[in-house]
Amino acid sequence: PLLYGIDWNIHDIDLFITNKSTIMEPELFEEIARENDWDVGTDMSGMMYYELLVNAHVIRVDLMENILDLYIPEEMLISAVKVSIDNLEVRSIRLEDLLVLKAREASEEGDEFLSRIAEILADPDSKINIDKNYLVRAINYYPDDKNSIERRLEKSGIYLE
């Protein structure tokens, strides 16, 4: 949401890793944590995360990979937007892709996010908009979940037409 100028209370960041593996090379990620004085841990599903202290707030950075229940199609990764943060180039998935992922995860937090974005999109003064054609394409990356994703989006107020 920050990439789009959406005010959001950040308590965690999902960092999707495409060129290394926390499972295959945990020592590498533990060393990065040590070098930066970050705490490191693993969640119940075995995914590694960092905890950083930023302006007296703990921010959790989940290190995610295309394994287990998490699957991000290559098309979403290719469509990611390049941004520069402190001279470091990173890629951020498009808002439309994030909407699909939040709808697919079917969680209370995801529903809250979808409803908030729907409010922003409905505000005539908002400069945020989405490409509905792209959104439909992104939904179709998950053919088995297509109907439930569409229902969750529309239930939150994000309409496909």
Tokens of 115: 């409803």
pLDDT of residue 88: 75
Q: What is the pLDDT of residues 2-59, one digit of tens each?
A: 566 676 667 778 888 888 899 899 999 999 999 999 999 998 888 899 999 888 888 8
pLDDT 10s digits, 44-69: 888 899 999 888 888 899 898 877 66
Residue closest to 22 by CA, chosen among 43, 53, 38: 43
Categorize the per-residue pLDDT at 82 as very low, low, confident or very high, splitting at 50, 70 and 90.
confident
> Per mean pLDDT, which range of 24-38, 85-99, 132-146 is the poorest?
85-99
Q: From CA 100, how far away is CA 105, in angstroms rounded?
A: 9
- Is this model's pTM higher than 0.75 or not? yes
- Select the more confidently predicted residue: 91 or 111: 111
- Other beta carbons less than 10 A from residue 99's beta carbon: 25
Q: Which of 73-82, 83-92, 121-130, 149-158: highest mean pLDDT?
A: 149-158
Judge contact between 10 and 2, C-beta under 8 A.
yes
pLDDT beyond 90 at 114: yes
Q: Which residues pair with 83 in a beta bridge?
A: 90
Q: What's the topology of domain 1-67?
A: Beta Polymerase; domain 2 (3.30.460)
pLDDT of residue 64: 85
Distance in angstroms (rounded) separating the CA atoms of residues 36 and 100? 33
What is the rounded distance in angstroms from the CA atom of residue 48 to the CA atom of residue 22? 7
Cβ-proximal residues to 154 (8 Å cutoff; 6+ apart), any chain: 160
Give ranges for CATH 3.30.460.10 in the chain.
1-67
Residue 108 is inside which H or E element, if any?
A: helix 108-122
